[in-house]
């Protein structure tokens, strides 16, 4: 990699990317919102999930992804003024975990020092 770079010294103990080749989304009416529950082995509450949806169908948006319980993520989908029928889409997920997150939200810093 050309140019300068610095290795991060933050508070993450896990930062990894996984590929899900066929995440199911539901049939959603025009202007609607719906969720799907996906099993992702290894995720745990308070993990931060960033996502990159690869080639979403026209009118469909992926609004949010979060861990609701161990090994379980909730995907929130929406549509614009047109509805959409159920299908699947490939998605890249970045999963980040803070050191000590199993101790609850009190372990998260409130500022950057």
Q: List, for residues 17-41, the tens digit of each pLDDT value.
A: 999 999 999 999 999 999 999 999 9
Mean pLDDT along residues 104-113:
81
Lowest mean pLDDT among 3-7, 55-59, 68-72, 84-88: 3-7
Check if the beta carbon of residue 17 is closer than 8 Å to that of residue 93.
yes
User: Which residue, among 25, 19, 43, 33, has the nearest Cα to 95 in the 3D structure?
Assistant: 43
Distance of alpha carbon 5 from alpha carbon 3, whole angstroms: 7
Q: How far apart are CA 94 and CA 105, in angstroms?
A: 20
pLDDT at residue 8 tops 80: no
User: With 60 as the cut, is the pLDDT of residue 58 above it?
Assistant: yes
pLDDT computed for residue 111 by the predictor: 86
Phi, psi of 106 (to 5 degrees): -65, -20
Model confidence at 7: pLDDT above 90: no
Average pLDDT, the chain: 92
């Amino acid at each position: 990699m050309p140019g300068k770079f610095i290795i991060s010294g933050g508070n993450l103990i896990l930062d990894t990317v996984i590929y899900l080749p066929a995440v199911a989304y539901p049939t959603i009416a025009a202007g609607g919102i719906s969720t799907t529950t996906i099993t992702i082995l290894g995720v745990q509450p308070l993990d931060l999930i960033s996502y990159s949806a690869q080639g979403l169908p026209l009118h469909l948006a992926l609004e949010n992804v979060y861990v609701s319980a161990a090994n379980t993520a909730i995907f929130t989908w929406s549509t614009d003024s047109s509805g959409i029928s159920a299908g699947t889409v490939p998605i890249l997920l970045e999963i980040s975990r803070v050191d000590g997150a199993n101790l609850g939200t009190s372990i998260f810093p409130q500022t950057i020092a």
